[in-house]
Every structure is written in C-alpha cells, then in structure tokens.
Amino acid sequence: MRKTDDLLIELNRAFDSYVKSFFPFEYQNKTYRLVDIYVASPWARCDVCGNHPIKEVSVIGSSDGRQLRVGNDCIDRITNRRLSEWFNDYRRNLQNIINNRKYIDGLSSIIEAYERMNFHFKCQMETL
Ligand SMILES: [Zn+2]
C-alpha cells in the first residue's frame, strides 16, 4: 500500500475517534449523532440559532429521525467541543496529503530503496 493511503487512513481514524469521543450527545433531551459535515453552497441557515448565512454545516440527527443543520459556533457550543476547528484541521491535512501525494509516495519509495540497499550491504558485510 502507498504511503499516502496509510496517511489518509490514519487521518480518518484520528478524526473518527475524536468524533466518537463525544457523539452521540444530548441536546434538548434528545440524543444526537453526527450525520455529516459539509461546506454549504449556497449558504445555509443554522437550525439552532437561525443565523444565516452559515457556510460550514454540521448535520446532526436525533434518534427520532429529526435532523438539524448547525453552524460552527452552535455545534461547538452544544457539543462543548471545538469540532469546527478540528474539522478545519482535518480538511487542511487531507488537502495537504492529496496535494503532496506525488512527493509522499516518491519519498517513501526512495527510503525503501535506501533500506533495501543498506540491508543488502549489511548482508554482504556479514558474509565476508
Ligand atoms: Zn447557530
């Protein structure tokens, strides 16, 4: 597997376990889980405070099937976490990995070749 894929899996895992550390959570006597996070186009309205426009939207769903679209300030407030900041970091890292895929994979194959060469060299030394 490519180094880039490893990094992407790792990044997803980290985000996943962060989200799972406080979801599902209680809000107005209902249990909500995270359904989706996306950038709205056109901009949306926050179902919690009524603010418009919101660009980054967290969708949360309750056990009775109700869904709320929530802006950054409100999702951070009702979860009492910095979810929006975390998500922005996640997205930035994701973009970084994708943009640098060529270099990451290229570098790891250079390192692998170097390690193979070293191993080969060591084996030769031992047989002398
Ligand atoms: Zn709001």
Nearest to 89 by CA among 3, 11, 7: 11
pLDDT at 79: 93
C-alpha to C-alpha distance for 94 and 89, rounded to whole angstroms: 8
Q: How far is the CA of 74 from the centre of ligand 1 (A)?
A: 4
Give strand ranges (E) for the chain. Answer: 25-27, 30-44, 54-62, 67-70
Q: What is the per-residue pLDDT for 114?
A: 85
Domains in the chain: boundaries: 1-21+82-128, 23-80
Q: Are strands 30-44 and 54-62 parallel, antiparallel or unpaired?
A: antiparallel
Q: Which residue has the tokens 């919101």?
A: 54
Largest Cα span, the chain:
77
CA of 54 to the centre of ligand 1 (A): 8
Q: Any bridge partners for residue 62, and if so which?
A: 32
Going from the first residue of the chain to its last (128 residues), give the mean pLDDT of each consecutive group of 10, the final group possibly shorter: 87 91 92 92 94 92 94 94 91 93 87 83 74
* CA of 93 relative to ligand 1 center, distance in Å: 26
pLDDT at 1: 65
